[in-house]
Chains A and B, each alone.
Chain A
Amino acid sequence: MNDTPISRAANATPPTVARKIKGLSDRAIAWIFVGPTIFLLLAINIFPLIWTINLSFTNFRANRLNREVEYVGLRNYERILTDSDIWLNMQATAHFLFWTIFFQVVIGFTLAYLINKKFKGNDLWTTIIVLPMMLSPAVVGNFWKFLYQPQIGLFNYIIAFFTGKEPSSFEMLGSVDLAPWSIVIVDTWMWTPFVMLICLAGLRSIPDYIYEAAEVDRASKLRQFFTITIPMILPFLMLAILFRGIENFKMFDLVVQLTGGGPGSTTELTSINLKREAFEKWRTGYASAYAIILFVTVFGLASIYVKALNKVKER
């Protein structure tokens, strides 16, 4: 028998917990702890998903329980994918996603870069900038609705001051051209601080010695920015884009408060359209197919994106 330090340590290790409880192996105990969670996950996530897939092939309506449910094959999917109005909603969603993320990343990063510089009162500025993010989207929607009001809204007066136009001569929420931008502006105002905070965390995680080494090598500030700051903060930026992308794909309350999807259907995002189909028109089967299509779209895009994010992190 070897009497080495390792074997002495091994012998000193107490027997596993399972051996103290009669008849229960480690695996059984693990199942006792993990089982309820797995059951809840199955009940709350997986079962509804499977049920939704099942409903998507039917003409079921949740408000007509006494009506016979028929399987309609792929008809719901075919209707959705060939409906030009739904494609317009998809376009509106894509427009909203692209521009909100673009502005939030550009402005959020810029703010983080500025706040990261040590100056008097930067903590106060950080707090002030972060405030919009703390508000409820419904409150923000109502608040901006008044700001955009053509006759009394402050926003119109500010634009009128700079352009020389009459404040009531343009309608941010009522114009087909301006309404999508009015939502982009509000969402950017509200959620840029979130991107800023993530970028700030990224910037503060870059060790000072890397910049000091660059200074020794006489690298210019611009060179330092592109070869140190940007590559090292890129994973943080991509994470911010992922979070904001998923959140904005689900955007509902803010838009409902601001425009209700109008004028016409100009700002009717897929989430609003889906809610109308499911809980106003009560076309449950159709709405289930719609939800599955959106789920596959988001899941597919997010998977590709996460792979890219992991590659960037590995570099």
Chain B
Amino acid sequence: MKHYKLTSVSAASIAIASMGASAQAEDLTLCWAAWDPANALVELSKEFEAQSGHTMSFEFIPWPNFADRMLNELNSGGKLCDLLIGDSQWIGGGAENGHYVKLNDFFDAENISMNDFADATVYAYSTWPKGTENYYALPAMGDANGWFYRKDWFERDDIKAAFQEATGRALAEPKTQKEMLEIAQFFQGREIDGQTVYGAAIFTERGSEGITMGVTSALYPWGFKYENTPGKYDMEGAVNSAEAVEALEFYKEFYKTATPPGYTNSYMGESLDAFKSGQVAMAMNWFAFFPGLYADPNTGGDKIDFFVNPPQNQAGSTLGGQGISVIAYSDKQDAALEYIKWFANPEVQQKWWDLGGYSAHKAVLEDPGFVDSAPFAGDFLEAMGAVQDFWQEPAYAELLLAMQKRIHDYVVADQGTAQEALDKLIEDWTETFEDEGKL
């Protein structure tokens, strides 16, 4: 009998102890877009699971639905995500609408310094209002829009000779936007190995953010600005400057004369498909895809090379990438913060880069071996030195959709002039900022 009692007490103790342990171990859900870096993060996070005892679940949404799905989740106060790697433009809305936990106190308590991360990424992914030291995210995935091309075609003697004859200069990575257009036009409709190929795959998508991300890759190098004075919303003369008009006309010429037929509604996926199927000589896309492109058995390896978005009047690249935030509606904020702390560790950041994620930590980026660590690493660093982002206002979606419409109307649907498109864009944006009480 005594023995029986002892056994019972022991069993109860073990059960209570194990209950105590399981109460501390959480199952965290991290939400992000479904793309190559997300797979790398799953791999990376196994180390966190082993160290912390927490388990990680992932909710990856395809890019076309990512914003709709996640913003609905945030707006409804949903508890699906404990951690969210949200787009840079969402930071204003995330902060002002109370979706994201403010991280300043946590950073101070855990000695996480934002000075350890690349300045451009801290500014773009973490802070709201801009220029202040209010942090709502840790830079998670540095990214910018860049270019890749068929190196094997560029190195062929017959093609080099034809290009020299056509343009009077050597075929090489373009140094300016206009050189890039010239190369694209040279390849447009050319027959290579019995197949008709085209100049370049650029972004023209209408529904979400595609054509805006594409056209800003031309606008920024021409000197486009959203405001004359930062924070004043004085757009007249900036958004529709002579340089902006020229850049927009350039993008339209690029679309009309140097892209594959039917390329009217194309974004990341279409760009990758066009390149991998051997249709185009060059393509624009986010650096996030470059590790996968380089690893492609058909068009990767020694057949591909990469270059930063070429300058025109100045250097400029369209910012991509995201910060990681703790969701204010999560019941597991402590565990989520543990993940942030772990992720901010320089050693983890190095592994993140090694696995195919783009670290924004200076310990990784400023390492002497970084530039040679991948064929696109140097271009990535250069791009991140001259990135610009779209409005990050809480009303960014309204601002973005207005630009999508005006640009697509002009570039793809041939309606009006570049000047009219940008003038109308200012009207749309003015109305939005008036509604917001900022004008």
| Chain B neighbourhood of A248, CB < 8 A | none
Whole-angstrom CA separation of A74 from B401 in the bound complex: 24
| Chain A neighbourhood of B205, CB < 8 A | 260
Whole-angstrom CA separation of A66 from B74 in the bound complex: 13
Asked if B408 CB lies within 8 Å of chain A CBs, one says yes
- Contacts A263-B408, A266-B413 given; indicate if A280 touches B397 (C-beta within 8 A): yes
Q: Which residue of A has the minimal Cβ distance to B206?
A: A262
Query: CB < 8 Å: which of A149, A263, A282 contacts B398?
Result: A282
Mask of A80-97 contacts with B, CB within 8 angstroms, 1/0: 000001000000000000
Q: Which of A139-156 contact B (CB under 8 A)?
A: 149-151
Shortest CB-to-CB span from A95 to chain B, Å, is 15
Shortest CB-to-CB span from A57 to chain B, Å, is 15
User: Among B218-226, B230-238, B261-269, which stretch is in contact with chain A?
Assistant: B261-269
- Contacts A173-B264, A263-B412 given; indicate if A59 touches B435 (C-beta within 8 A): yes
Asked if A62 CB lies within 8 Å of chain B CBs, one says yes
- Contacts A174-B264, A176-B414, A260-B207 given; indicate if A63 touches B409 (C-beta within 8 A): no
Q: Which residue of B has the minimal Cβ distance to A259?
A: B265
Is there contact, CB below 8 Å, between A280 and B401?
yes
| Chain B neighbourhood of A63, CB < 8 A | 71, 75, 93, 97
Query: CB < 8 Å: which of B75, B260, B415 contacts A151?
Result: B260
Query: CB < 8 Å: which of A62, A169, A263 contacts B75?
Result: A62
| Chain B neighbourhood of A235, CB < 8 A | none
Asked if A223 CB lies within 8 Å of chain B CBs, one says no
- Contacts A63-B93, A63-B97 given; indicate if A264 touches B415 (C-beta within 8 A): yes
Whole-angstrom CA separation of A263 from B410 in the bound complex: 10
Asked if A261 CB lies within 8 Å of chain B CBs, one says yes
Is there contact, CB below 8 Å, between A279 and B68?
yes
For chain A, the count of residues having a C-beta within 8 Å of the partner chain is 31
| Chain A neighbourhood of B207, CB < 8 A | 256, 260-261
Query: CB < 8 Å: which of B96, B97, B405 contacts A265?
Result: B405
- Contacts A261-B206, A266-B413 given; indicate if A66 touches B262 (C-beta within 8 A): no
Is there contact, CB below 8 Å, between A283 and B97?
no
| Chain B neighbourhood of A259, CB < 8 A | 265
| Chain B neighbourhood of A276, CB < 8 A | 401
Shortest CB-to-CB span from B153 to chain A, Å, is 19
Asked if A64 CB lies within 8 Å of chain B CBs, one says yes
Q: Which of A234-279 contact B (CB under 8 A)?
A: 256, 259-266, 276, 279
| Chain B neighbourhood of A283, CB < 8 A | 398, 435
| Chain A neighbourhood of B409, CB < 8 A | 264-265
Scoring A66, A151, A256, A260 by chain B CB atoms within 10 A of each residue's CB, the highest score goes to A260
Asked if B291 CB lies within 8 Å of chain A CBs, one says no
| Chain B neighbourhood of A65, CB < 8 A | 75, 97
Mask of A40-64 contacts with B, CB within 8 angstroms, 1/0: 0000000000000000000100111
Shortest CB-to-CB span from B394 to chain A, Å, is 7
Asked if A221 CB lies within 8 Å of chain B CBs, one says no
Is there contact, CB below 8 Å, between A173 and B262?
yes
Shortest CB-to-CB span from B307 to chain A, Å, is 27
Q: Which residue of B has the minimal Cβ distance to A266?
A: B413
Asked if B98 CB lies within 8 Å of chain A CBs, one says yes
Q: Which 6 A-B pairs have the closest CB atoms?
A: A264-B413, A174-B264, A264-B409, A150-B262, A262-B206, A150-B261
* A contacts, CB < 8 Å to B: 59, 62-66, 85, 149-151, 168-169, 171, 173-174, 176, 256, 259-266, 276, 279-283
Listed A/B pairs (9) with beta-carbon separation below 8 Å? A171-B261, A173-B264, A176-B413, A256-B207, A262-B408, A264-B206, A264-B415, A265-B405, A265-B408
Excluding A63-B71, A263-B206, 11 further A-B contacts by CB distance (< 8 Å) are A63-B93, A171-B262, A171-B264, A174-B263, A176-B414, A260-B206, A262-B412, A264-B413, A265-B405, A266-B413, A283-B398
